[in-house]
Structure 1
Amino acid sequence: MSDGIVAVVSGTTSPERVLFEAARRADDSGGAVYVLYVLGLEWYASAELWLAERLRIPTGTETIREVCERKADRVAAPALETYETAGRIGHPIDEIVEYATQVGADTVVADGDLTAGAGAWRRASEPLEPFRERELSVVPVY
């Protein structure tokens, strides 16, 4: 893997701290920053219903994914000069691991409270295990 850093900005009330730490690590390693917003399945269902019924906007996985990507960009734009964004839908830990693998990142920076956020983390006895299995370093930010 490269020295890419995935900054997870969903499921946190402090995305600025996550972005700052990701940028610092990217500067130290010369790696790229990938800003990721993941929407858990339970929140996806709510978002789809809200968009369809209240706003009469056509929905579907692609529409919601684009909304997530725009949220990631909106958070990252004031804080970072160079970055790539992505929006994902699914079980957050699985989506984070899959995305990090896809972009060749070796580090994930996320809110230190892995149980916080809007359905951000799958309930598991050991939430970091999927990261360890893929040899991803996880940097919690408090």
Structure 2
Amino acid sequence: MTVIACVDRSEQAAEVVAEAARLGEAFGEPVHAVHVLTREEFVDLERTSVDDTGRAMPLDRIREVAARIAEERVEDAGVTAEAVGLVGDPSDEIVNYADEHGASYVVVGGRKHSPVGKALFGSVAQSILLDAHHPVVALAREE
């Protein structure tokens, strides 16, 4: 079993990793910080690579870029976690990764709006909440 921390480039991502680390420690499970590059980001990297070098960037290299983003969030949180980079639709890739690794928990970040504090989650977090086959811990933040 594994605790999955879904990270993006937001400031809240370190909190997501830290919460996943707390769960991992409590249950004696490893933590995987997962960042997914969207197809649009992939195409942009490909275009840049072709423009700069005349060659396409290998998919493994693209995954390394995504893993490096996850690693930065792990470092920000000051915890131990395996950084994982994926490419595709973020919610689909995370749900599939959680299934493949038998996740005990999936930790996501969200957004909190309005004076009364109604929680509204971004489309990725909302899709994960709706589609995951494992318990999801959602952290809300003030905006």
Quote the offset at 1:129 in angstroms.
2.4
From 50, 53, 61, the counterpart of 1:52: 50
| Higher Rg of the two aligned structures | 2
More displaced stretch, 44-53 vs 96-105? 44-53
Superimposed CA distance per residue, residues 25-67 of structure 1 (whole angstroms, 9 cap, x where no aligned partner):
1122121111101011122111221233246674132211111
Structure 1: give runs of 5+ residues left out of the alignment.
none
More displaced stretch, 45-54 vs 15-24? 45-54
From 29, 41, 60, the counterpart of 1:43: 41
Q: Which amino acid aligns with 2:88?
A: G
The higher relative CO (CA closer than 8 Å, separation ≥ 6) is in 1
**In 2, are the aligned partners of 1:41 and 1:89 still within 8 Å (CA)?**
yes
In structure 1, the partner of 2:131 is 130
RMSD in angstroms over aligned alpha carbons?
2.3
More helix by share: 2
Q: Percent identity?
A: 30
In structure 2, the partner of 1:99 is 97
Q: How many residues align?
A: 130
Query: d(CA) in 2 for partners of 1:84 and 1:43?
Result: 22
Quote the offset at 1:86 in angstroms.
1.0
TM-score normalised by length of structure 1: 0.78
TM-score normalised by length of structure 2: 0.77
Structure 2: give runs of 5+ residues left out of the alignment.
112-120
